[in-house]
Amino acid sequence: MKRLFLTVVAALTLTATFAKDEKANNVNNANAYDMTVNMSRLSDALKLTVDQVESVADVHRTFCGEMLIASQANEDDRDALVKKAVNKDLKYMHYLLNDKQYRTYVMILNTTLNNRGLNK
């Protein structure tokens, strides 16, 4: 009886350990795809005009939503959705920003994607 009890406890402990790691991976995965930024710092870094600030914030909000959708997709579709979201964001930002601002934005975005392990 004692041996059976210890076996059940060991099995439950192993199951709980695996489930805990799975939840941690899901949380880390969701955090990697969270692309929210401080818009005032971004506007300072890009030296945005008053007119550009609101437009860039709208485009970035859309980008954050698309990245959230990509984080919840299965692994087969995730890379394609991330690539699509990044390309769409870059296309819209290229339209809104001048060349110097756009180069700075691309540098910031690439650094962010590299730091989060999303740039493959």
What number is the average pLDDT over the span 10-20?
58
What number is the average pLDDT over the span 33-57?
89
pLDDT at res. 119: 76
Q: Is-contact 117 32, C-beta < 8 A?
A: yes
pLDDT in tens, 83-99: 999 999 999 999 999 99
What number is the average pLDDT over the span 26-53?
82
Nearest to 39 by CA among 25, 55, 26, 28: 55
